[in-house]
Each structure stands twice: as C-alpha cells, then as structure tokens.
Structure 1
C-alpha cells in the first residue's frame, strides 16, 4: 500500500493563513505580504540563493507581525475563526486516513493546522508544519517603532516583476531591482543585528527543501520508497517534494496550481472540491502511476485531470485563473 502526502492550503483549505493574519494585523497588510511573497519568489526561483528556500516568507514577516502586536493566542483564535476548507475536504481527509497512510506537509503555522485538525479529525502526529512562538522573542519598543516604519517603507515599493525566464538580478526591471535592494538592506543587513532578527535565525518554515525532507521522513517512518509516494501540491513551496515523488517513480500532482508547481508535476487537477484526491489515491493504490494515467484518460469526471506534458500551452493560464476563482484573486496570485 502506498503513501499519500498533500499540502494543506490549496488541496485541503481555501485560506492563505499567513497572508490573512498579516492583512488583519498590519495596515494594508495584504499588500505588504504580497511584496514579501514576491521577494520570496525572486530569492527562491530566480536568484536561487543558497540557504534560502521557498516559503521563508513565513519567517520574514514575523518581526513585523510581532511589532504590530501578534501573539500566540491571537494566531490560534484567528486561525480557528477564519478557517475555510475546500468543499468535501473534511470528509475526504477522513476517508483517506482509513484508506492509506496520509500526511499533510504544510508551510503554514502550527495553530492553523491545529484548527484544521479540530474540524476534520486529522491526526496532528501526521502533520509537518512551521513552528512559531511569538512569546519567545521580546523586542524593545524602539525596535517595534522602527519595524512599523519599515513596513510603511515596504508598502511604498512596487511589486517585484519577474520576467519569464529571469535567472538573475540583472533580468529584473529597474524599479524591481531597486525594490530588491531595499529589501536586501532590511532583511539581511539591519534585521540580523536586532532582537527581532531572532525570528529569522530560529524559525524554519516547512517549504521547498524542507517539504522534500518531510516527505522523506514520512517515507522512512512508514517503510515506503519514493515510487510508492503520491504527492499533491499547488505552489512554489511544493516544488522539491513534487520533484522527489516524480523522480522516484511516484505520483506528482499539481492541484489548482500555479506555474511553479505545474513546472515539475506530472499530473494536474482543476477542481472546486477536494473529492478528486480520494479518486487519485484509489487509482494510485491499484496501479501506481499507471493508475493515475488510466484515471486521466477517463472522460466521465466532474473535474479536470490530465498529464501536464499533454496539456495545451494554455494550461498555466487556465490553472492560475481557476485557482483565483476558487481561492480568490489575492490569495490565488501568491506564489
């Protein structure tokens, strides 16, 4: 029997918890988060900076959240209050847990996964996610004021534009280069010298290579090989885990995905509900990757499933538009 691992936000829930918490706490917090998220895309996918991984947005924003009064309790209560699951997700998770070993590998903060566990019954011992403790870092009021000033400065920056095929700083438009330079100064020269810089040192978001490492841990714990892994993800943070499953001969599925996940996945799904995940799991149990191919060939489905290599050139635009329709334009546009 194989193993299933899936991302939380996208394949299971409709939220972007970190984005929404930032939007609720900071003035123009959604715009602020979008700028840091695009900087994350640049560092992880264009510059490919050593030691940096997709999803580290979730540690970059922590000093600013702290400066605006974030607490562990506030994050727990906010997560419980705002949790929105994809239709059919709670029932699908329960079914999957009975069908095969199932894990959630998420970049999201633990309180959000705890909120999901409360409504779905999903066992937290099978969850990999980002640990955060706002109370562990005490910042002086002078630092908090400076961080709030920097937040205003970041809001004045343009959203970094990443041209197709960009592979370095020099490929960015001039205004985007200037935005990168400002963010470099804040995050890698000034913040490390501050008490708030401890967030950058001590928090390790589960994204990029950490998701692949989590998948390897799940495989080790259950005694399976990568060829027996079915991984379902949707964004830049899932790239390495999708690659691990695909290169190992397992199933790599992009679910309502953006261009980053589609670039490395072998299969794609467009669905307004989570229920296709159960069909994917059953097909994979029966015949592995060949089972997924056979399922993709069937026409009588209320969702779209196909092989990325066989899809038209418009797949990325169709999938990203569908993603925004399901999750909302602002969240759907995030990397």
Structure 2
C-alpha cells in the first residue's frame, strides 16, 4: 500500500472470508492434501485456541493455525503454484459480495484485511475485480525451502499421530490448564512436545517461526495504518468482519465512533461489533456502506430503528436502484440487521450460527 489512493473522506475495510468469500481456505486446503486432513486441521485449530485463550502461550495468537500447519502442508506436497491453483478452483463468493465491493469502491476508498494466505487473497481479488494493492494478508512462500525425504516422513508420521489424538475440549470460561479434563491435559502436553520441541530442528520449522499470520492485532494495526495514510480518522471508517481475529478492530472502530459491523459473526465478533447482520447475501453491505458514506455512523444506526424497505425509502440515504435490487434479493422479507446490545446479542448470535453454516458450510468456524 505504497501509493496514494484517489478518494478522501470515509473508507470501508472488510475481512475476506465470511463477508466476501464463503471458504475456509486453510481448512479446505488441508483437507484436500493432508491424510485425514479435516480432522488434522480441527486438531491443530483447537490446539491453537487452547494456547491463545487458556495457556496464553507467549507469541501465539488467534489465527496462528495458519503457520502451525505449514510444515505439514509442505510435507504433503504443497507449493506456491498449487496453493494458488487450489484457491482459484475452490473459490466461493458470498452472493452479492462482488457487487458490494465494487459498489463500495465507487463511494469511498476500500480495503480488505485478512488472515488468509496471499495466494487465496490474490485469487479472490482476481475473481471479484478488487485491487490487490489495497489488501493486507498473510505473506508466505512455500517454495522458499526444500525438504528431504526423511523430514517428509517425520512430518507425515507426526500428522498421523495428531489425527489419532482425541480432539481437545476446552470448557467455556476455562482460564488455565487446571480447568481442562485430565485427558485433555495429556493431549495438550503431547501437542506441546510436537510443536515446540520435536519439530524445532526441522528445516521446515522456519515456516512456523518466520510466517506471521495477520491475526487480531495485525488487523487492528493495518486498519489504523490505512487511516493514517489516508488522513482519515477512525470515526470515518466502516469495518465489516465475522470472526475472532476481527474482534479487536471491531472494538477499536466502535470505540472511535466508526461503524463496526459483524456479518454472520461468531460470538467474539458480535460482542465487539455495534451492528449485527444475518444474511445469505452481501447486498446488505452495500446498503450499510451507502448509509455510512452519506450519514456516517449515526446515519446508519438511525435506519436500524425502522429497518424496513419503507424505512429505507423514507430515509433517502440509499439510491433507488439499490433499493430495487435489495427488494428483488429479499422478496419474502428483510434480512436481520440490528444494533447489538445485551438484549439483542443472544438472538443475533443464534441466527448467525445457523447462517454461517448455510453460507460457509461449517458450523464450527
């Protein structure tokens, strides 16, 4: 993001997977190339979440699953070209998201900030016609190293062992290892040995030590940097996210007076957002973007007090063409869009869980 951008005023920043695309790219990639890959990915993801939220291991954060799986992807033959090819062939765009991002670019400077690997980000940008230079993502070169046969065999054997281990179960509210069951503590100890002792001397471990996924703090830093470079205050930023790595920047934008939107969000995102959207079509993002562009945060929130087609028309903040398209998209009734508070959060969360499974194909994202 080294060049000057043409628009001044307000900006829109969106996560990629969830609000724009429907994939869980890292999970799907792992499932496709690693033996018992979906189970393996779930095991590593649960382990990462235990490290970041329960044991609070230094240097581990939400999103680090994307670096922990890299040596194993390499051992099963992943290359930069295969990651790009898989991303292109498996890409699923949330209905209406390509139009929403193009529409947003006509109104204001728009950016995408994502934990996704750069291969997936590039494939998505090509498909939806979004400028790659307006993105932040996890930089990665799979071809940076060669792996000898003995290391391939070592990692494949470790992957098989990880798959055989029980999946970690972390109780709600767990704050330390003592809150885990005895079997889970044993699993945690064995995974610690694998990732932080047995693998550290492997040449492929540099993929773990050198790759830095764009997690929650990195997303927040990226958005703050965008605002500084654009000379736009955070109150003039609209952020759309859906997951745990979006929680921090949703909180920052909300506290700064911007518009923080959770699109089919999980609980961490919903807790920090100000607006909850439950929809199978991203035209809602277009509606909110135009309302924000014309009236800022207050203008968007005002419409939610009468969230209806008649209310939108009466407000006058949305172009009639977009309203007609909106009505055609939802002929049976309005999608759920509500201001989030203690009263609405449980309702929105329940709806979001179901919609995430419908749109993305997984209930446990």
The normalised TM-score by structure 1 is 0.95
Q: For the Cα contact (< 8 Å) 1:95–1:278, is it kept in 2?
A: yes
Displacement of 1:312: 5.1
Match of 1:303 in 2: 335
CA–CA distance in 2 between the matches of 1:97 and 1:272? 21
Counterparts in 2 of 1:1-335, with a 5 A limit?
A: 1-300=9-308, 302-309=334-341, 310-311=343-344, 313-329=346-362, 332-334=363-365
Matched residues in 1 for 2:282 and 2:190: separation? 40
Can you give the 5+ residue segments of structure 2 that lack an aligned partner in the other structure? 1-8, 310-333
Q: Secondary structure at the match of 2:115?
A: strand
Segments of 5+ residues of structure 1 without an aligned counterpart are: none
RMSD: 1.4
Structure 1 distance, partners of 2:239, 2:58, is: 25
- Could you say if the C-alpha distance between residues 315 and 241 of structure 1 is closer, same or farther in structure 2, counting changes exceeding 3 Å? same
The question of whether the paired residues in 2 share the 8 Å contact of 1:9 and 1:16 is answered with yes
Distance 1:83 1:50, change over 3 A: same
User: Do 2:102 and 2:130's aligned partners in 1 also have CA atoms closer than 8 Å?
Assistant: yes
Structure 2: distance between partners of 1:118 and 1:53:
29
223-232 or 101-110: which moved more?
A: 223-232
- The TM-score with structure 2 as length reference comes to 0.87
Give me the whole-angstrom Cα distance separating, in 1, the residues matched to 2:59 and 2:250. 20
User: What is the deviation of 1:83?
Assistant: 0.5
How far the C-alpha of 1:316 sits from its partner, in A, is: 2.4
Q: In 2, Cα distance between the equivalents of 1:226 and 1:312?
A: 24
> 1:189 and 1:248 mapped to 2: Cα distance?
43
Deviation at 1:274, TM superposition (A): 1.0
How big is the shift at 1:139? 2.2
Deviates more, 1:40-49 or 1:99-108: 40-49
Deviations 1:112-171 (A, max 9, x none): 111111111100110101111111022221111111011111111222222111112211
Cα offsets for 1:65-122 (capped at 9, x unmatched): 0000001111111111110100011111111111111110011111111111111110
* CA–CA separation in structure 2 for the residues paired with 1:157 and 1:226: 45
Once residues 217 and 237 of structure 2 are traced to their aligned partners in structure 1, the CA distance between those partners, rounded to angstroms, is 16
In structure 2, what is the Cα distance between the partners aligned to 1:317 and 1:18?
25
Q: Please state whether the residue corresponding to 2:54 is helix, strand or coil.
A: helix
Tell me, in whole angstroms, the C-alpha distance in 1 between the residues paired with 2:259 and 2:180: 35
Alpha carbons of structure 1 residues 282 and 121: separation in structure 2 relative to 1, 3 Å:
same
Secondary structure at the aligned position of 2:292 is classed as helix
The answer as to whether partners of 2:14 and 2:239 remain within 8 angstroms in 1 is yes
**Partner residue of 2:314?**
none
